[in-house]
Amino acid sequence: MVTSDSGVQHTVRQLLAVPRFRLRLVAGETGIDRPLRWAHSTELLDPAPHLRGQEIVLTAGASLQDPGACAAFAESVKAGRASAIGYGVGDVTGEVPDALRDACERLGLPLLEVPREVPFLGFTEWFAERLASTRDERREWEETGRLLRMVQQGVASSEALRDRVDDAGLDPAALLVIAMDGVAEELPGVLGVDGDIALLITNDAHAWSEPAGVGSPGPLDHLPVSLAESLTALDSARRGGGVVHASDLATFQALLGRLDQDQLAPFVQQIARPLNEYDSAHGTRLTETLRTFLDLGGAVGATSRALFLHPNTLRHRLARIESLTGRDPLQFEDRVALAIAIWAVVQR
């Protein structure tokens, strides 16, 4: 995920893939996607008080001479919220103790075999290298994010992003922006960070996390439009979940979804409430009739058939709806107001 400088994270799975360490997973496979922040080496039987969480705890096994000690060590590591154990073979034992394997498997705690020739210091050096590299990336992401905001506000030209687009190997004729709350670190495009939002300039409309908003594609000078669309779409995605594309924004439902409760309240109070109260008091079905009428595009004949009503009976109900709400269901503008009221009640 995109994180702050102090919160750079990797996973046990990623560490296993680092060639220089030649690690082998021997237990606890279910936990290999746990985040890793740092490495901590110890020969203490109870390392938990010295852990901050999300470490790989490295040991040569000096204190792990019996099954009870192995179980206690693994449980302490788990209690300290560490993510994995790295056992260095060769100094104390030629292989990882079976009792330690069993304990880690039971706890779902990844247990990695570290070759004798790999020094524990190499792990802390690797994490430090990743931290420095990611801090440099973060500063670049934030600079790109500020530039994108300036482009959106009209105080900078999209041309200011051309070098970044070219360096990323993107097609400048089909650029779009994806706005996400969180993304993986390796992405095909130009990444900018604006506060808690990740903004990705890319040619690929695939979102790598949810919620996300996807702008429309176009040439470089279309970026301000795509950026605005992506942010609006992200807001809609936060409300409803998933991924919202620019094409999803130009719909009646999407427009309603961008209204807050204060904006919807007059429709509920002036339209939906009188209908519901009348139905409750008189045992009528005006709200159901209106909903069906709206769903069928305001067609009297289709609604009559759907509700098994004579057209004159339906017209009588529609007239009653008008008298209660002041909106004529047969008039387009009034029908829109009625549709908003019905939608607002359903969303509550």
Among 40, 57, 54, 49, which residue's Cα sits nearest to residue 3? 54
Rounded to the nearest 10°, the torsion over CA 148, 154, 155, 159 is 60
| pLDDT of the residue at 2 | 39
**CA 32 to CA 27: how far, in whole Å?**
10
pLDDT values of the chain reduced to their tens digit, one per residue, 348 residues: 333 334 445 899 999 999 999 999 999 999 999 999 899 999 999 999 999 999 999 999 999 999 999 999 999 999 999 999 999 999 899 999 999 999 999 999 999 999 999 999 999 888 887 776 666 677 888 889 999 989 988 889 999 999 999 999 999 999 999 999 865 556 789 999 888 899 999 999 988 888 999 999 999 999 999 999 999 999 888 887 889 999 888 777 777 777 778 888 999 999 999 999 999 999 999 999 999 999 999 999 999 999 999 999 999 999 999 999 999 999 999 999 999 999 888 765
- Do the domains spanning 5-119 and 261-347 agree at the CATH topology level? no
Rounded to the nearest 10°, the torsion over CA 125, 131, 137, 138 is -170
**Domain extents in the chain:** 5-119, 134-250, 261-347
| pLDDT of the residue at 9 | 59
Does 5-119 carry CATH code 3.40.50.170? no
Q: Can you tell me whether residue 57 is helix, strand or coil?
A: strand
Question: Would the pTM count as exceeding 0.75?
Answer: no
| pLDDT of the residue at 4 | 37
Distance of CA 1 to the CA centre of its chain: 10
- Please state the CATH superfamily assignment of the domain spanning residues 261-347 in this structure: PucR C-terminal helix-turn-helix domain (1.10.10.2840)
Nearest-5° Cα angle at 27, 21 to 32:
65
